[in-house]
Protein backbone atom coordinates (compact mmCIF):
# COMPACT_ATOMS: atom_id res chain seq x y z
CA UNK A 1 0.00 0.00 0.00
CA UNK A 2 1.28 3.55 -0.72
CA UNK A 3 0.88 4.46 2.96
CA UNK A 4 3.27 1.68 4.08
CA UNK A 5 6.44 3.62 3.38
CA UNK A 6 8.17 1.49 6.02
CA UNK A 7 7.65 -1.60 3.89
CA UNK A 8 8.71 0.13 0.70
CA UNK A 9 11.93 1.38 2.36
CA UNK A 10 12.82 -2.07 3.71
CA UNK A 11 11.94 -3.80 0.44
CA UNK A 12 14.00 -1.34 -1.60
CA UNK A 13 17.04 -1.87 0.63
CA UNK A 14 16.68 -5.66 0.60
CA UNK A 15 16.56 -5.87 -3.19
CA UNK A 16 19.40 -3.36 -3.54
CA UNK A 17 21.73 -5.43 -1.34
CA UNK A 18 21.07 -8.39 -3.66
CA UNK A 19 21.64 -6.29 -6.81
CA UNK A 20 18.05 -6.79 -7.92
CA UNK A 21 15.90 -4.14 -9.60
CA UNK A 22 12.16 -4.04 -8.98
CA UNK A 23 9.12 -2.03 -10.04
CA UNK A 24 6.41 -1.26 -7.48
CA UNK A 25 2.73 -1.85 -8.26
CA UNK A 26 0.49 0.15 -5.92
CA UNK A 27 -1.76 -1.88 -3.66
CA UNK A 28 -5.53 -1.47 -3.92
CA UNK A 29 -7.93 -0.81 -1.04
CA UNK A 30 -10.75 -3.31 -1.13
CA UNK A 31 -13.44 -0.76 -0.30
CA UNK A 32 -12.48 1.22 -3.43
CA UNK A 33 -13.61 -1.59 -5.77
CA UNK A 34 -17.20 -1.24 -7.05
CA UNK A 35 -19.32 -4.38 -7.00
CA UNK A 36 -19.78 -4.35 -10.77
CA UNK A 37 -15.99 -4.72 -11.19
CA UNK A 38 -16.04 -8.26 -9.80
CA UNK A 39 -16.04 -11.08 -12.39
CA UNK A 40 -19.55 -12.52 -12.89
CA UNK A 41 -18.64 -16.08 -11.91
CA UNK A 42 -18.80 -16.50 -8.09
CA UNK A 43 -19.60 -12.79 -7.71
CA UNK A 44 -22.14 -13.51 -4.96
CA UNK A 45 -19.26 -14.98 -2.94
CA UNK A 46 -16.61 -12.39 -3.78
CA UNK A 47 -18.87 -9.50 -2.74
CA UNK A 48 -19.08 -10.97 0.78
CA UNK A 49 -15.30 -11.23 1.26
CA UNK A 50 -13.42 -8.88 3.64
CA UNK A 51 -12.04 -5.73 2.04
CA UNK A 52 -8.43 -6.84 2.63
CA UNK A 53 -8.98 -9.97 0.53
CA UNK A 54 -10.69 -7.91 -2.18
CA UNK A 55 -7.80 -5.45 -2.29
CA UNK A 56 -5.21 -8.23 -2.44
CA UNK A 57 -7.02 -9.89 -5.36
CA UNK A 58 -7.25 -6.66 -7.35
CA UNK A 59 -3.60 -5.80 -6.64
CA UNK A 60 -2.50 -9.13 -8.10
CA UNK A 61 -4.84 -8.66 -11.07
CA UNK A 62 -3.28 -5.24 -11.70
CA UNK A 63 0.18 -6.81 -11.67
CA UNK A 64 -0.94 -9.45 -14.19
CA UNK A 65 -2.64 -6.78 -16.29
CA UNK A 66 0.63 -4.80 -16.37
CA UNK A 67 2.57 -7.87 -17.53
CA UNK A 68 0.04 -8.56 -20.29
CA UNK A 69 -0.12 -4.91 -21.37
CA UNK A 70 3.68 -4.64 -21.60
CA UNK A 71 3.83 -8.04 -23.34
CA UNK A 72 6.59 -9.19 -20.98
CA UNK A 73 7.72 -12.73 -21.76
CA UNK A 74 8.24 -13.47 -18.05
CA UNK A 75 8.00 -11.55 -14.78
CA UNK A 76 8.11 -12.25 -11.04
CA UNK A 77 5.45 -10.88 -8.70
CA UNK A 78 6.63 -10.31 -5.12
CA UNK A 79 4.65 -9.37 -2.03
CA UNK A 80 6.26 -6.57 -0.03
CA UNK A 81 7.16 -8.71 3.01
CA UNK A 82 9.21 -11.13 0.91
CA UNK A 83 12.56 -12.43 2.15
CA UNK A 84 15.26 -14.69 0.70
CA UNK A 85 18.70 -16.15 1.35
CA UNK A 86 21.96 -14.41 0.47
CA UNK A 87 22.66 -17.46 -1.73
CA UNK A 88 19.72 -16.60 -3.99
CA UNK A 89 21.67 -16.67 -7.25
CA UNK A 90 22.86 -20.23 -6.66
CA UNK A 91 19.37 -21.33 -5.60
CA UNK A 92 17.75 -19.86 -8.71
CA UNK A 93 20.38 -21.40 -10.97
CA UNK A 94 19.45 -24.86 -9.68
CA UNK A 95 15.73 -24.11 -9.87
CA UNK A 96 16.22 -23.07 -13.50
CA UNK A 97 17.69 -26.48 -14.33
CA UNK A 98 14.78 -28.25 -12.63
CA UNK A 99 12.26 -25.98 -14.35
CA UNK A 100 13.70 -26.71 -17.79
CA UNK A 101 13.36 -30.43 -17.15
CA UNK A 102 9.89 -30.38 -15.61
CA UNK A 103 8.44 -28.22 -18.40
CA UNK A 104 10.01 -30.33 -21.17
CA UNK A 105 7.58 -32.90 -22.58
CA UNK A 106 10.46 -35.16 -23.62
CA UNK A 107 11.56 -35.54 -20.00
CA UNK A 108 8.78 -38.04 -19.22
CA UNK A 109 9.97 -40.21 -22.11
CA UNK A 110 13.53 -40.15 -20.78
CA UNK A 111 12.65 -40.95 -17.13
CA UNK A 112 12.60 -44.77 -17.53
CA UNK A 113 16.33 -44.59 -18.32
CA UNK A 114 17.12 -43.15 -14.88
CA UNK A 115 17.27 -44.86 -11.50
CA UNK A 116 14.17 -43.24 -9.99
CA UNK A 117 13.73 -43.85 -6.26
CA UNK A 118 10.31 -44.87 -4.91
CA UNK A 119 9.27 -44.19 -1.30
CA UNK A 120 6.10 -43.92 0.77
CA UNK A 121 4.39 -40.54 0.87
CA UNK A 122 4.13 -39.28 4.50
CA UNK A 123 1.53 -36.64 3.60
CA UNK A 124 -1.83 -36.57 5.37
CA UNK A 125 -4.92 -34.43 4.91
CA UNK A 126 -3.81 -32.41 7.95
CA UNK A 127 -0.32 -31.71 6.62
CA UNK A 128 -1.54 -30.17 3.34
CA UNK A 129 -2.29 -26.48 3.74
CA UNK A 130 -4.48 -26.05 0.64
CA UNK A 131 -5.78 -29.43 -0.48
CA UNK A 132 -7.68 -28.30 -3.57
CA UNK A 133 -6.55 -31.06 -5.91
CA UNK A 134 -9.25 -33.25 -7.50
CA UNK A 135 -6.79 -36.16 -7.25
CA UNK A 136 -6.09 -38.06 -4.02
CA UNK A 137 -2.83 -37.97 -2.09
CA UNK A 138 -0.35 -40.20 -3.90
CA UNK A 139 0.73 -43.33 -2.05
CA UNK A 140 4.25 -43.19 -3.46
CA UNK A 141 6.81 -40.49 -4.13
CA UNK A 142 9.13 -40.75 -7.12
CA UNK A 143 12.44 -38.97 -6.57
CA UNK A 144 15.39 -38.36 -8.87
CA UNK A 145 18.53 -36.46 -7.80
CA UNK A 146 19.39 -33.69 -10.25
CA UNK A 147 22.99 -34.93 -10.18
CA UNK A 148 21.88 -38.12 -11.98
CA UNK A 149 20.33 -36.28 -14.90
CA UNK A 150 22.93 -35.87 -17.65
CA UNK A 151 23.05 -32.73 -19.75
CA UNK A 152 20.93 -34.13 -22.56
CA UNK A 153 18.99 -30.95 -23.17
CA UNK A 154 20.16 -27.99 -25.24
CA UNK A 155 21.23 -24.72 -23.66
CA UNK A 156 18.15 -22.50 -23.22
CA UNK A 157 17.85 -19.60 -25.62
CA UNK A 158 14.54 -17.99 -24.57
CA UNK A 159 14.80 -18.24 -20.78
CA UNK A 160 17.04 -20.08 -18.29
CA UNK A 161 13.83 -21.43 -16.73
CA UNK A 162 12.66 -23.15 -19.89
CA UNK A 163 10.57 -22.13 -22.87
CA UNK A 164 8.01 -19.64 -21.44
CA UNK A 165 5.43 -20.86 -23.94
CA UNK A 166 5.54 -24.23 -22.14
CA UNK A 167 4.89 -23.13 -18.54
CA UNK A 168 2.47 -20.82 -16.73
CA UNK A 169 3.57 -20.30 -13.11
CA UNK A 170 6.81 -20.81 -11.18
CA UNK A 171 5.69 -20.72 -7.54
CA UNK A 172 8.98 -19.72 -5.92
CA UNK A 173 7.69 -18.40 -2.59
CA UNK A 174 4.87 -19.90 -0.51
CA UNK A 175 3.92 -20.94 3.02
CA UNK A 176 3.23 -24.57 2.33
CA UNK A 177 2.74 -26.75 -0.73
CA UNK A 178 1.78 -30.37 -1.24
CA UNK A 179 3.62 -32.98 -3.26
CA UNK A 180 2.18 -33.55 -6.76
CA UNK A 181 -1.34 -34.99 -6.89
CA UNK A 182 -1.36 -36.52 -10.33
CA UNK A 183 -3.87 -39.06 -11.68
CA UNK A 184 -2.78 -42.53 -10.64
CA UNK A 185 -3.51 -46.10 -11.66
CA UNK A 186 -1.94 -49.51 -10.95
CA UNK A 187 0.29 -48.94 -13.99
CA UNK A 188 1.35 -45.39 -13.13
CA UNK A 189 5.06 -44.82 -13.69
CA UNK A 190 7.30 -41.82 -12.99
CA UNK A 191 6.65 -38.90 -15.33
CA UNK A 192 7.06 -35.13 -15.36
CA UNK A 193 3.71 -34.72 -13.57
CA UNK A 194 4.67 -36.75 -10.48
CA UNK A 195 8.49 -36.73 -10.34
CA UNK A 196 10.37 -34.98 -7.53
CA UNK A 197 13.74 -33.67 -8.65
CA UNK A 198 15.99 -33.43 -5.60
CA UNK A 199 19.06 -31.51 -4.54
CA UNK A 200 20.73 -33.25 -1.64
CA UNK A 201 23.07 -31.71 0.93
CA UNK A 202 21.81 -28.20 0.27
CA UNK A 203 23.21 -26.23 3.21
CA UNK A 204 20.65 -23.45 2.70
CA UNK A 205 17.84 -25.87 3.67
CA UNK A 206 17.11 -25.82 7.43
CA UNK A 207 17.19 -29.08 9.36
CA UNK A 208 13.90 -31.05 9.46
CA UNK A 209 12.85 -29.72 12.89
CA UNK A 210 12.60 -26.22 11.38
CA UNK A 211 10.56 -27.15 8.30
CA UNK A 212 7.21 -25.63 9.15
CA UNK A 213 5.39 -22.68 7.58
CA UNK A 214 4.24 -21.19 10.87
CA UNK A 215 5.31 -21.45 14.53
CA UNK A 216 2.00 -23.13 15.40
CA UNK A 217 1.73 -25.24 12.26
CA UNK A 218 2.66 -28.90 11.72
CA UNK A 219 5.96 -30.01 10.26
CA UNK A 220 6.02 -30.18 6.48
CA UNK A 221 5.92 -33.65 4.95
CA UNK A 222 9.38 -32.88 3.53
CA UNK A 223 10.74 -33.13 7.09
CA UNK A 224 10.37 -36.93 6.93
CA UNK A 225 10.08 -37.75 3.22
CA UNK A 226 13.73 -37.11 2.32
CA UNK A 227 17.11 -36.93 4.01
CA UNK A 228 17.95 -33.72 5.91
CA UNK A 229 18.97 -30.66 3.87
CA UNK A 230 17.23 -31.87 0.70
CA UNK A 231 15.43 -29.44 -1.60
CA UNK A 232 12.81 -30.80 -4.00
CA UNK A 233 11.35 -29.41 -7.24
CA UNK A 234 8.05 -30.57 -8.74
CA UNK A 235 4.68 -29.70 -10.27
CA UNK A 236 2.45 -27.54 -8.03
CA UNK A 237 -0.62 -29.78 -8.32
CA UNK A 238 -0.83 -30.66 -4.62
CA UNK A 239 -2.17 -27.31 -3.47
CA UNK A 240 -0.19 -24.31 -2.23
CA UNK A 241 -0.74 -21.26 -0.04
CA UNK A 242 0.70 -17.73 0.05
CA UNK A 243 1.76 -15.88 -3.08
CA UNK A 244 4.98 -14.56 -1.55
CA UNK A 245 6.73 -14.77 -4.91
CA UNK A 246 5.65 -16.33 -8.20
CA UNK A 247 6.84 -15.97 -11.76
CA UNK A 248 4.43 -15.96 -14.66
CA UNK A 249 5.02 -16.31 -18.36
CA UNK A 250 3.08 -14.15 -20.81
CA UNK A 251 0.98 -17.24 -21.48
CA UNK A 252 0.36 -17.73 -17.76
CA UNK A 253 -0.40 -14.06 -17.08
CA UNK A 254 -3.02 -14.01 -19.85
CA UNK A 255 -4.64 -17.22 -18.65
CA UNK A 256 -4.80 -16.05 -15.02
CA UNK A 257 -6.11 -12.59 -15.90
CA UNK A 258 -8.78 -14.11 -18.14
CA UNK A 259 -9.78 -16.61 -15.46
CA UNK A 260 -9.77 -14.44 -12.33
CA UNK A 261 -10.05 -10.91 -13.70
CA UNK A 262 -12.76 -11.57 -16.29
CA UNK A 263 -14.42 -14.94 -15.72
CA UNK A 264 -14.65 -15.75 -12.00
CA UNK A 265 -13.27 -15.03 -8.55
CA UNK A 266 -14.64 -16.05 -5.15
CA UNK A 267 -11.79 -16.77 -2.69
CA UNK A 268 -8.59 -15.34 -1.30
CA UNK A 269 -6.08 -15.04 -4.16
CA UNK A 270 -3.52 -17.63 -3.07
CA UNK A 271 -6.24 -20.27 -2.62
CA UNK A 272 -7.57 -19.47 -6.10
CA UNK A 273 -4.12 -19.74 -7.67
CA UNK A 274 -3.40 -22.97 -5.80
CA UNK A 275 -6.70 -24.44 -6.96
CA UNK A 276 -6.06 -23.36 -10.55
CA UNK A 277 -2.63 -25.01 -10.59
CA UNK A 278 -4.12 -28.15 -9.04
CA UNK A 279 -6.90 -28.21 -11.65
CA UNK A 280 -9.67 -28.18 -9.05
CA UNK A 281 -12.14 -26.72 -11.57
CA UNK A 282 -11.35 -29.15 -14.39
CA UNK A 283 -13.13 -32.43 -15.26
CA UNK A 284 -11.41 -35.42 -13.68
CA UNK A 285 -12.05 -37.76 -16.62
CA UNK A 286 -11.01 -37.30 -20.26
CA UNK A 287 -13.70 -36.34 -22.74
CA UNK A 288 -15.10 -39.23 -24.78
CA UNK A 289 -14.78 -39.12 -28.56
CA UNK A 290 -18.55 -39.36 -29.19
CA UNK A 291 -19.67 -37.30 -26.20
CA UNK A 292 -22.64 -34.98 -26.83
CA UNK A 293 -22.26 -31.22 -26.87
CA UNK A 294 -24.62 -30.91 -23.89
CA UNK A 295 -22.53 -33.37 -21.90
CA UNK A 296 -19.34 -31.52 -22.80
CA UNK A 297 -20.80 -28.26 -21.50
CA UNK A 298 -21.65 -29.91 -18.20
CA UNK A 299 -18.19 -31.36 -17.78
CA UNK A 300 -16.25 -28.11 -18.04
CA UNK A 301 -13.75 -26.65 -20.48
CA UNK A 302 -11.04 -28.30 -22.49
CA UNK A 303 -7.82 -26.29 -22.45
CA UNK A 304 -4.05 -26.68 -22.73
CA UNK A 305 -2.26 -28.26 -19.80
CA UNK A 306 -1.65 -25.98 -16.86
CA UNK A 307 2.02 -26.07 -15.98
CA UNK A 308 2.82 -24.73 -12.51
CA UNK A 309 6.17 -25.63 -10.95
CA UNK A 310 7.32 -25.15 -7.36
CA UNK A 311 10.07 -25.89 -4.87
CA UNK A 312 10.28 -27.12 -1.25
CA UNK A 313 11.37 -25.47 0.95
CA UNK A 314 10.41 -22.26 -0.84
CA UNK A 315 13.18 -20.00 -2.10
CA UNK A 316 11.24 -16.91 -0.97
CA UNK A 317 9.23 -16.65 2.26
CA UNK A 318 7.27 -14.19 4.39
CA UNK A 319 9.34 -12.07 6.77
CA UNK A 320 7.70 -11.37 10.13
CA UNK A 321 9.22 -8.01 11.19
CA UNK A 322 9.58 -6.25 14.52
CA UNK A 323 7.04 -3.69 15.65
CA UNK A 324 4.05 -5.78 16.63
CA UNK A 325 2.20 -8.83 15.45
CA UNK A 326 2.22 -9.77 11.81
CA UNK A 327 -1.09 -9.45 9.99
CA UNK A 328 -0.44 -12.85 8.40
CA UNK A 329 -2.75 -15.31 10.09
CA UNK A 330 -1.28 -18.52 11.43
CA UNK A 331 -1.77 -21.71 9.47
CA UNK A 332 -1.81 -23.55 12.77
CA UNK A 333 -3.83 -20.92 14.63
CA UNK A 334 -2.77 -17.61 16.16
CA UNK A 335 -0.36 -15.03 14.78
CA UNK A 336 3.39 -14.94 14.26
CA UNK A 337 5.00 -12.90 17.04
CA UNK A 338 8.69 -13.67 16.57
CA UNK A 339 10.93 -11.65 14.28
CA UNK A 340 11.86 -14.34 11.77
CA UNK A 341 11.56 -15.75 8.27
CA UNK A 342 10.61 -19.40 8.02
CA UNK A 343 12.66 -21.65 5.71
CA UNK A 344 15.43 -19.05 5.07
CA UNK A 345 18.75 -19.57 6.87
CA UNK A 346 20.95 -16.60 5.89
CA UNK A 347 18.08 -14.15 5.58
CA UNK A 348 18.57 -10.84 3.78
CA UNK A 349 15.96 -9.14 5.99
CA UNK A 350 17.38 -10.52 9.24
CA UNK A 351 20.87 -9.40 8.20
CA UNK A 352 19.84 -6.16 6.51
CA UNK A 353 21.79 -3.84 8.82
CA UNK A 354 24.96 -5.87 8.29
CA UNK A 355 24.47 -6.05 4.52
CA UNK A 356 23.76 -2.33 4.18
CA UNK A 357 26.88 -1.58 6.25
CA UNK A 358 29.00 -3.77 4.00
CA UNK A 359 29.75 -6.44 6.59
CA UNK A 360 29.90 -10.09 5.73
CA UNK A 361 31.86 -11.95 3.10
CA UNK A 362 29.46 -14.69 2.10
CA UNK A 363 28.14 -16.24 5.31
CA UNK A 364 30.93 -14.73 7.42
CA UNK A 365 29.60 -12.13 9.82
CA UNK A 366 25.96 -12.94 9.04
CA UNK A 367 23.39 -14.61 11.27
CA UNK A 368 22.09 -18.08 10.42
CA UNK A 369 18.60 -17.98 11.94
CA UNK A 370 18.02 -21.74 11.65
CA UNK A 371 21.34 -23.38 12.61
CA UNK A 372 21.50 -27.16 12.93
User: Is-contact 253 75, C-beta < 8 A?
Assistant: yes
The answer to whether residue 182 scores a pLDDT higher than 60 is yes
DSSP letter for 361, please.
Answer: B
Average pLDDT over the chain, rounded to whole? 86
Highest mean pLDDT (candidates 4-8, 110-114, 158-162, 276-280): 276-280
Confidence of residue 328 (pLDDT cuts 50, 70, 90): very low
Report the pLDDT averaged over residues 148-158: 69
Question: Which pLDDT belongs to residue 337?
Answer: 56
Confidence of residue 216 (pLDDT cuts 50, 70, 90): confident
pLDDT digit string, tens, across residues 76-126:
999 999 999 999 999 999 999 999 999 988 888 878 888 899 999 998 877
Question: Which pLDDT belongs to residue 290?
Answer: 54
Question: Which pLDDT belongs to residue 330?
Answer: 40
Helix-strand-coil percent breakdown of the chain, rounded to 5? Answer: 30, 15, 55
pLDDT digit string, tens, across residues 297-315:
444 557 889 999 999 999 9
* Angstrom distances, CA of residue 168 to CA of 151, 172, 194, 232: 24, 13, 17, 19
| Beta strand segments in the chain, E | 74-78, 82-84, 117-120, 140-145, 169-173, 195-199, 231-235, 245-249, 308-312, 316-320, 340-341
**φ, ψ of residue 340 in degrees (nearest 5):** -170, 170
Report the pLDDT averaged over residues 147-174: 84
The answer to whether residue 167 scores a pLDDT higher than 60 is yes
- Within 10 Å of residue 174's Cβ, how many Cβ atoms? 30
Return the closest-CA partner of residue 180 out of 83, 108, 229.
108
The answer to whether residue 324 scores a pLDDT higher than 50 is no
34 or 184: which carries more pLDDT confidence? 34
* Angstrom distances, CA of residue 307 to CA of 148, 201, 285: 24, 28, 18
Q: Which of 47-56, 125-134, 276-285 has the lowest mean pLDDT?
A: 125-134
Question: Which pLDDT belongs to residue 63?
Answer: 97
* Angstrom distances, CA of residue 198 to CA of 129, 204, 233: 22, 14, 6
3-state SS, residue 339:
coil
pLDDT digit string, tens, across residues 242-272:
999 999 999 999 999 999 999 999 899 999 9
The answer to whether residue 142 scores a pLDDT higher than 80 is yes
Confidence of residue 319 (pLDDT cuts 50, 70, 90): very high
Amino acid sequence: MPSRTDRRDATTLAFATSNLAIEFIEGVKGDSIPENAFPPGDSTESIKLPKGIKGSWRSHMNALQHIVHKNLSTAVIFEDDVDWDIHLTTQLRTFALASRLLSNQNFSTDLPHYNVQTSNNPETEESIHNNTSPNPISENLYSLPLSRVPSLYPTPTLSPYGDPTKWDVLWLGHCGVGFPHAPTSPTTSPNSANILLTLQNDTTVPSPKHLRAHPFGPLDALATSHSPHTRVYHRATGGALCTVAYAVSQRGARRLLAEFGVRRWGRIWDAELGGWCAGSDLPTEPMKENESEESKKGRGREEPERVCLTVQPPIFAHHHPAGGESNIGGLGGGYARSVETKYVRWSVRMNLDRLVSGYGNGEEGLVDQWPD
